[in-house]
Structure 1
Amino acid sequence: MIRDFDEMLSIVKSNKTMRIAVAAAQDKDVLEAVTSAAKMKLAEPILVGDEEAIRSFLRDMDIPYDFRIVNEPDVINAAKTAVSLVKEGEADFLMKGLIQTADIMRAVLDKDNGLRTDSLISHVMVYKTDSYDKLLFLTDGGINVAPNLEQKIKILENAITVCKAMGLDKIYVSVLAGAESVNPKIPATVDADALANMKDRWSQLNTVVEGPVALDLAISKQACHHKGYKGEGGGNADVLLVPYYEVGNALGKSLTYFANAKSAGIIMGAKVPIVLVSRADTSETKLLSIALGSIVANYK
């Protein structure tokens, strides 16, 4: 079981080096991230995009690495080409460069030439704070706005795959809501209760799903003691499954900005993990996200 990001980096370095196809790679921040990843042997980049612009950035940054570059100046075609590299077995996972998320996902989800699966595309963020003694997996605060029950099942399955790739054996999931009581007027509590009662499904994955659970009872044993909460995973959650996009988005940013948490994130549900980084992400987050994508790609 990987308990922090330093340990994750060590594991990735000891694994087979995965190849990452970067769509529209002509972006300084992205090139800095993949260069660092290559230097640390976390991933082997294949840069798809405007070759002239990519080489200009590399020269300006005084980067000596001789990366493979696939010249495709059009960003839409760059996304299609990066996806094709994965389909043809030349790359193991994807990364978004200077392209809109919708455009790269359109290439990923293309019925004929994409990387679709029976699963649902969802976002998994991994956080490490000083106040929690292990990694915390948060889903989905990035893709699905108001998922229904069937979609939440697939979102949770995606998160469990990431947990398994990170070496977790038994996984504790808290399905978050505002309280532990099921209220028919609050759909989040109804869905949480339904998920928790799918015990046979989750037991096959060595996973305990509990809900509805308020955040304090998911992560604080002290809160569980004071409130008399007896759930098996109480105060020990690995995965926080949020009811809506806004909850995950706000909780994740709170961890980053209030708790100074380190983080990494990937998109799951396609045939390979997809690294999507924002300009607001720190260089460390970008690097850790590449490492996370690599460890999941190696697992899958």
Structure 2
Amino acid sequence: MTLHTNIPWTDLEIGMEAETTHTCRAEDFYVFANSSGNLNPMHLPKEDGDGDGKPEAVAPSMWMGALISGVLGNFLPGPGTLYKSQMLTFLGRAHAGDEITAKVRLLSKGEGNLATFETWVEQADGTRIAEGEAVVLAPERKVAIDIRDVPGLTVQTHAHFDRILARAEPLEPMPTAVVAPEDDASLGGALLAYRHTLLHPILVGCAKKIAAAAEEIGADLSGLEIVDIPDHSAASAQAVKMVHEGRAKALMKGNLHTDDLLRQVLKKVGGLRTNRRLSHVFVMDVPGLDHLLMVTDAAINIAPDLEEKVDIVQNAIYLAHALGIEMPKVGILSAVETVNPRIPSTIDAAVLSKMADRGQIKGGLVDGPLAMDNAIDLEAARTKGISSAVAGHAEILVVPNLEAGNMLAKELTFIAHAQAGGIVLGASCPIILTSRADDEQARLASCAVAVMMREWGRSRG
């Protein structure tokens, strides 16, 4: 039980002090912006509010004042306290990442249970950045309040993708054959990646449709190569040929059916096959989750058998390495967490786990079968009595079939507000496989992930 107790009026003594220390977070500033309506870009962590070319992320002054309110309401006098007045002078600024402390000291007691406090906020080195005086109505009775029922908040930011983008942008732009970028979404996504120096797109498709799409979004295609091939199958074949010629280092799907593109990739002669099967990985930045989450396979392999799942797992592990996860935790999902011969996916999961133990799957910690709850929630795993390095910490979720993966990824996107980027692995180059429903940020994330994958491949020789 989490209790907050107060100090009633009769027990208050002059000179009493209380304080709370808080690390300023970007999430705090977004919550304040939403609750107060103050959208001043000086306080929004990604915005450049004064035009100097970099974001300021200045802590809102009244948000700092609210920290003083927290000390008065939680500790001294505590629950039951009500404000009468608060005067503040702001002497300095705090920024995202700073540790600040709000303090109060009782100065006097007046009639009608009125208590006057000196109030201030200081930096970690003791420098005051705000000071003033508060008058509050102190509580008469001793109370203890259980605060477990206060709803939590999840801020819909995507810091994990921001970090991937920050790592990918300084790298050399990746020459990418974009197949049939013939509508505003697919062309816009490629050009967005171009502006972020992730890709150098080669536009392969119907030149008239590409030009019309560019006009619709007001884009200038000067300096970009356009290969005029109206037929989607032929355009896909030409893009694959460009990879063989070294002109392109990746493929990106535009406004065409996935089958038209992958049919050329999978050709035994002239395709982009390797010794591993193709599989798709959604890389997801889920608000409130402290790590990236990968879901595979949700787009290519409909009902993979055990042998196909081995490649699906290995492809995902390699992608995790490319994104900086040295030993990814892989949860093999099923409906239950115990092996049941009547549920084939539990058998596959157990075999995959043992194969990883024996080194047949390399570079990750693999465990299964796991149900969704005990794969990602440690308390759920403990409740079920599961002791595992993966349970409750899974970074890669391997689904039993495409239907389950597709539903899981879309539920995370549209209900949990996750941002999703996805690529196809197992070919001789990354394949950026976007959906018509993807927004610009999702397309940008897919491109950044592909760049990281290509860079990791180059580093391995």
Question: Which residue of the other structure, out of 4, 11, 19, is the alignment partner of 2:167?
Answer: 11
Query: Could you list the runs of 4 or more consecutive aligned residues of structure 1 that deviate by over 3 angstroms after TM superposition?
Result: none
SS of 1:14 mapped into structure 2? coil
Q: Is 1:172 aligned with 2:329?
A: yes
Q: Is 1:62 aligned with 2:218?
A: yes
CA contact (8 A) 1:48 1:78 kept: yes
1:111-130, aligned counterparts within 5 Å? 111-130=268-287
Q: Is 1:136 aligned with 2:293?
A: yes
Structure of greater Rg: 2
CA contact (8 A) 2:192 2:440 kept: no
Question: Which residue of the other structure, out of 311, 315, 338, is the alignment partner of 1:181?
Answer: 338
Q: State the superposition RMSD in angstroms.
A: 1.6
Aligned to 2:320: 163
| Unaligned segments of structure 2, at least 5 residues | 1-158
Percent of matched pairs sharing the same residue: 39
Q: Is 1:44 aligned with 2:200?
A: yes
Instruction: Work out the CA distance in 2 between the residues paired with 1:272 and 1:121.
Output: 11
Q: Is 1:20 aligned with 2:171?
A: no
Quote the offset at 1:183 in angstroms: 1.0
Larger relative contact order, structure 1 or 2 (CA cutoff 8 Å, min sep 6): 1
Instruction: Work out the CA distance in 2 between the residues paired with 1:70 and 1:203.
Output: 41
SS of 1:217 mapped into structure 2? helix
CA contact (8 A) 1:138 1:242 kept: yes
SS of 2:365 mapped into structure 1? strand
Instruction: Work out the CA distance in 2 between the residues paired with 1:24 and 1:82.
Output: 10
SS of 1:182 mapped into structure 2? coil
Aligned to 1:72: 229
Aligned to 1:110: 267
Quote the offset at 1:201 in angstroms: 1.7
User: 1:271-297: per-residue Cα shift (whole Å, max 9, x none)?
Assistant: 111112221122211121122122212
Quote the offset at 1:267 in angstroms: 1.1
SS of 2:308 mapped into structure 1? helix
* Matched residues, number: 298
Instruction: Please state which structure has a larger fraction of its residues in helix.
Output: 1
SS of 1:210 mapped into structure 2? strand
Aligned to 1:33: 189
Instruction: Please state which structure has a larger fraction of its residues in strand.
Output: 2
Counterpart amino acid of residue 216 in structure 2: D
Quote the offset at 1:229 in angstroms: 1.5
Q: Report the TM-score, using the length of structure 1 for normalisation.
A: 0.95
Aligned to 2:250: 93
Question: Which residue of the other structure, out of 419, 423, 427, is the alignment partner of 1:262?
Answer: 419
SS of 1:146 mapped into structure 2? coil
Question: Which residue of the other structure, out of 213, 224, 240, is the alignment partner of 1:83?
Answer: 240
User: 1:198-253: per-residue Cα shift (whole Å, max 9, x none)?
Assistant: 11226742x11101111111111121222222111121111101111111111111
| Unaligned segments of structure 1, at least 5 residues | none
